[in-house]
Amino acid sequence: MKNLNISYLYLTLILLTTGSCIEETPNYFEFEGYQFENLDAQGGSWKTILVTDPSLIDIPQPESTNSSLYQAELSALKQQMSGLSPTQTQAVKYWTNNPVLRWNEIALELAAKYNLIPGPNADGTYTLPNPANPVGPPAFPFAHPPYTSRMLAYLSVAQFDALVVTWHYKFQFNRPAPYLTDNTIKPAYASSQLPSYPSDGATVATVSKEILKLMFPLEANYLEDKYQEHIESLVHAGINVQSDIDAGNIIGSEVIKLAKQRASSDGMAKAQTPKNVSDSIANAAFERFGWKWENMETPKRPVGLTPLFGQVKMWNVPSVEEVRPGPPPAPGSKEFETNAAEIKKFAAHMTISQRRIANWWEDGIGSYTPPGHWNKFAKEAIVKAKLNPLRSARVFAYMNTAIMDAGVACWDAKYYYHYPRPIETISGFKTILGTPNFPAYTSGHSTFSAAGAEVLAHFFPADAAQFRAWAEEAAVSRLYGGIHYRFDAEVGITQGKNVGAYAVNRAKNDGAQ
Amino acid sequence: MKIFIRLTAIAATTICLSMASYAQTPWDEVMMGKGEICTALIYEHSSWDQYWEGTYLRENANIGTFTRQTIMPMIAMGISKKINIIASLPYINTKASGGTQAGQSGIQDLSIAAKVDWLQKQVGKGKLLFLTNAHFSTPSSNYLSDYMPFSLGAGAPEIGLRGIGGYKMDNGIVFRAAAAYLWRGQTEVERDYYYENGSVYSTFMNVPNALNLHAAVGYWAFDNRLRMEATFMSLNCLTGDDIRSYNRPQPTNKMEVSQVGAWVQYFIKSDRGLGALAYFNQTVSGRNMGKATTFGIGLTYQFKAF
């Protein structure tokens, strides 16, 4: 019986020790609101992307801080702040004073939620998501990498332009934050000289909600709830009164009109082609080069992913042909065989380190995609550098337009060259990553990553080497995963760098340096 | 040798590799005397061509027929008549007949269990029995759990506590039921963001705790040399998410399974020396699991060491 007690004592100890080393599994990036490194008082003069002139978006002249109307707003704010529930306090802490980051995170979460490839019907056919019937099945959208890159580009551009306009008026009207007028108000975040009219938080909330509703129509209610929570948190944090918020909403609504207008005519609606168009693209490549890519799934998918994404309107590159690479080595050529032998060797002798790299950068179905991965890096770099919302949005806008342009350029090459995947050219080849439903050359992740890295390297020069090393690792990860040849990855890196340079040049000349 | 070799329910595994970890645990009423050692080697073959995506039973031509084969060495030892220890370490191979994804093979989880006999009381024409079993298992190689359905296991430590009640009649008929609670820890994955009903920013996944039930009606014949049982097993994760539409499973999934089966064990010369066993299990219902058919065969050898 004594033995027995001892053995159960051991068991309890094991239980306690294993229980005590449980790792956190947070649902968002945990950081506190911070003191901005710079307020960018000249930010209202920076070049915008969609808006032609900030002064064309009109907002009312604010009441002065000693007016009775403003004093009434302050009283309302104080009353609300005095009775916050734990949920409201938590919301204030969650949103922080840089809500650009939270809306970006929400966008990534929706990308991961909707990044599901439609399965086959019982009769072996496939039904594609249809924006006219978003409920489906399958639900709209399929947030694959091109879709997600475009979604993030519109989100970030709308946020950036709206914040430039907001900054323009902030420093025109110079109305101080509520807590600077009334020192009985204790703000939830670091005290700041940033003028509070119009509210940058409200501007960001409005544009973000509207872009994401456009991109994820089934999430309208969820987004409305997030928007309300965010707007309320601005008052609860003591940083905005209602008229700040109202003015921010006006700016957001105007910028959204421009974003929606561009999105409706950028060519995305035609990117997913019918089968006859897809077949003619494949045949053109076959006549030109003597090869064509084919889907290898069972049942076979009749059309690859967005064959005409390469024709979607770019942001920073005048024409996609400018960044189209030369042809890959022909299957069967000596150069091809060397490349094929290399990935066969990786597959046969996979090291733990190679496996980790392949999985770390997989960003496959069900994830936030490669563009999402770079948005996570950008977010972390922004917090580390303590950037204000305007400067944060600028980083995201240039990075995400570069990443979408990289996607467009890469997709142009993919369907122009229509190059077969390793599972087609290497008999019996098995991979640890799933092979995607589009041609191999150039590698999407390599192209997205190089473009993202170039832009981040420009904005965060101290970490430039790290960003570029990550892009290289993302590229080679596709070889370990067995879904790309080295030439797909290397040319993809070059293509991504070239595309990224256009965004960097634009950023250098937008007046913010 | 009337040993506890019922490791099997590994069978169920298929999509849910985590199943293996509870499997090695004995849940029968058999005990060995002090100094008795039983070694066993078991081969198990489990396959499915349909799986439950959430609660929806489907096929997937890019998996085709999924096969999981296990070779498991085991050793059991009588510390005393009332306390037995059992350890096992399976080697597993997985593959799919369809699609282009690579299967896996390697050593899975080391499991160590202690079984305690608390009660044997003559009631009417038989004995009323009560035993407990406590086990601990932990991954014993660097297999990747987040590669389902091909991964070898859930990649997480597990602690289980089981109560076993039974009534063994003097004429050889046995009725038995066992219930266990399984605490499962976390598994480290090779990405730092994943979706589990929302974003998770972590390189760890929480493997859900589970309730595990067994029931059997058995018969001991030929002077206790032949043992035959009809069995039922279920495992229900208490939390977790569902496999999303046409997506792959992950260790956070709420896995559920029920199986019916049969078990035969034959001791060539009473309870020492060589024995053989065979079993069969059919999955009848499930969630986030393959609908597996499983059989296993094994050899056992028992001797007195001290």
In chain A, the residue whose alpha carbon lies closest to the alpha carbon of B141 is: A352
Residues of B in contact with A109 (CB under 8 A): 195, 198-199
Q: Which residue in B80, B159, B200 is closest to A14 by CB distance? A: B159
What does the pLDDT average to over A271-279? 98
Per the CB < 8 A criterion, the answer to whether A430 and A448 are in contact is: no
A118 vs B: CB within 8 A? yes
pLDDT per position as a tens digit, A361-377:
999 999 999 999 999 99
Residue A242 and residue A305 in one domain: no
Rounded Cα–Cα distance for residues B15 and B195 (Å): 19
A433 min Cα distance to partner chain B (Å): 7
Chain B residue closest to A6 (CA)? Answer: B114
Residues with Cβ within 8 Å of B99's Cβ and at least 6 positions away in sequence, in order, are A297, A298, B61, B62, B63, B64
Same-domain status, A253 and A340:
no
Residue A176 CA neighbour count, 13 Å, CB half: 13
With contact defined as beta carbons under 8 Å apart, do B168 and B179 qualify?
A: no
pLDDT above 50 for A231: yes
Q: Looking at the partner chain, which of B101, B193, B246 has a beta carbon nearest the beta carbon of A119?
A: B246
Q: Which residues contact A210 (CB under 8 A, 6 or more apart)?
A: A158, A252, A253, A256, A259, A260
Where residue B3 falls among pLDDT bands split at 50, 70, 90?
very low
Residue A474 has pLDDT above 90, yes or no: yes
Dihedral of alpha carbons A352, A355, A361, A363, sign:
negative
**B194-195 vs B83-88, strand pairing mode:** unpaired
Query: Which residues of chain B have a CB within 8 Å of the CB of A347?
Result: 102
Residue identified by tokens 């009381």 is B121
Judge whether residue A284 has pLDDT over 50: yes
Each residue's pLDDT tens digit, A195-210: 999 999 999 999 999 9
Across the interface, do A298 and B98 touch by the CB < 8 Å criterion? yes
User: Per the domain annotation, does B128 fall within a domain?
Assistant: yes
Q: What is the mean pLDDT of residues A209-232?
A: 98
Q: What is the mean pLDDT of residues B221-234?
A: 92
The answer to whether residue A56 is domain-embedded is no
Across all residues in chain A, what is the average pLDDT? 96
Residue B268: the pLDDT is 84
Residue ranges making up the domain that contains A202: 89-264
Asked if the structure places residue B61 within a domain, the reply is yes
Same domain, A155 and A249: yes
Helix axes A444-459, A464-480, angle to 10 degrees: 170
A3 touches chain B (CB under 8 A): yes
A309 and A237 in a common domain: no
Find residues 224-253 of chain B whose CB sits inside 8 Å of chain A: 244-248
Range B275-283 average pLDDT? 95
pLDDT at A454 over 80: yes
Are A317 and A197 in the same domain?
Answer: no
Tokens 């008549």 -> residue: B81
CB distance A135 to A71 below 8 Å: no
| CA nearest to A396, candidates A383, A411, A412 | A383
Least confident of A2-16, A245-259, A279-293, B158-172: A2-16
Q: What is the pLDDT of residues B165-189, one digit of tens each?
A: 999 999 999 999 999 999 999 999 9
> How would residue B224 be classed by pLDDT, with cut points 50, 70 and 90?
confident
Confidence at residue A12, expressed as pLDDT on a 0 to 100 scale: 60
Q: Is the domain of A282 the same as that of A258?
A: no
Q: What is the pLDDT of residues B12-67, one digit of tens each?
A: 333 333 332 222 235 677 888 899 999 999 999 999 999 999 999 999 999 999 99
Partner B contacted by A132 (CB < 8 A) = no
State whether residue B171 sits within 8 Å of chain A by CB. no
Check whether A1 has a pLDDT greater than 80: no
Among A22, A368, A434, select the one facing B186 at the smallest CB separation: A22
Find chain A residues with C-beta within 8 A of B101's C-beta: 430-432, 434
Please report the residues numbered 371 through 390 in chain A whose beta carbons come closer than 8 angstroms to any beta carbon of chain B. 372-373, 376
Shortest Cα distance, chain B CAs vs residue A334, angstroms: 25
B277 within 8 A of B257, measured Cβ to Cβ: no
- SS3 category, B96: strand
Q: What is the pLDDT of residue B28?
A: 76
Is residue A2 scored above 60 in pLDDT? no
CATH of the domain at B78: 2.40.160.40
* Mean pLDDT on A395-418: 98
Mean pLDDT of A326-339: 98
A304 & A258 share domain: no
Candidate from B161, B192, B246 with C-beta closest to A117 = B246
Residue reference for tokens 């029995």? B129
A290 and A259 together in one domain: no
Last-in-domain residue among A211, A241, A264:
A264
Question: Which residues in chain B (280-299) have CB-CB distances under 8 A to chain A?
Answer: none
Beta-sheet pairing, B56-58 with B66-78: unpaired
Task: Please give the share of chain B, as a percent, with pLDDT higher than 70.
Answer: 91
Q: Are residues A286 and A197 in the same domain?
A: no
A18, A359, A430 member nearest B190 (Cβ): A359
A14 in any annotated domain? no
> Is B279 part of any domain?
yes
**Residue B195 backbone phi and psi in degrees, to 5:** -110, 125
Average pLDDT over every residue of A100-119: 98
What does DSSP say about strands B109-123 and B83-88: parallel, antiparallel, or unpaired? antiparallel
Residue A72, in any domain of the structure = no
Query: Could you tell me if residue A487 is inside a domain?
Result: yes
CATH number of the domain within which A306 lies: 1.10.606.20
- Domain stops at, among A236, A264, A292: A264
Indicate the number of domains in chain B: 1
Question: What confidence category does residue A14 fall into, taking pLDDT thresholds of 50, 70 and 90?
Answer: low
Cα–Cα distance measured from residue A175 to residue A158, given in angstroms and rounded to the nearest whole number: 24
Residue of chain B nearest A9, judged by CA positions: B134
Cβ of A109 within 8 Å of Cβ of B195? The answer is yes
- Best residue in A362, A430, A445, A480 to probe B by mutation, most B CBs within 10 Å? A430
Query: With bands split at pLDDT 50, 70 and 90, how would you rate the model's confidence at A8?
Result: low
How many domains are there within chain A?
A: 2
For Cα atoms A139, A145, A151, give the angle at the middle one, nearest 5 degrees. 75
A292: its two tokens: 């064509």
Answer with the one of A203, A232, A264 that is the final residue of a domain: A264
- Residue B1 within any structural domain of the chain: no
B173 touches chain A (CB under 8 A): no
* Structural domain range at position B273: 7-304
| Greatest pairwise CA separation for chain B in angstroms | 61
Q: Are A477 and A424 in contact (CB under 8 A)?
A: no
Domain assignment present for A24:
no
Contact of A489 with A446, CB cutoff 8 Å:
yes
Supply the pLDDT for residue B42.
95
A187 pLDDT above the threshold of 80: yes
Whether residue A311 is found in the same domain as residue A359: yes
Contact status of B112 with chain A (Cβ, < 8 Å): no
Residue A120 lies in a domain: yes
Query: Do A222 and A336 fall within a single domain?
Result: no
Does residue A245 sit in the same domain as residue A380? no
By the 10 Å C-beta count (0-12 exposed, 13-18 middle, 19+ buried), A461 is classed as exposed
Cβ-Cβ contacts under 8 Å, A365 against chain B: 247-248
Interface contact A136, partner B, CB < 8 A: no
CA Rg value for chain A: 25
Q: What is the pLDDT of residue B19?
A: 31
Helix extents (H) in A388-511: 389-417, 422-425, 444-459, 464-480, 486-508
A116–chain B Cβ distance below 8 A for any pair: yes
Residues A163 and A200: beta-carbon distance below 8 Å: yes
Compute the residue count for chain A.
513
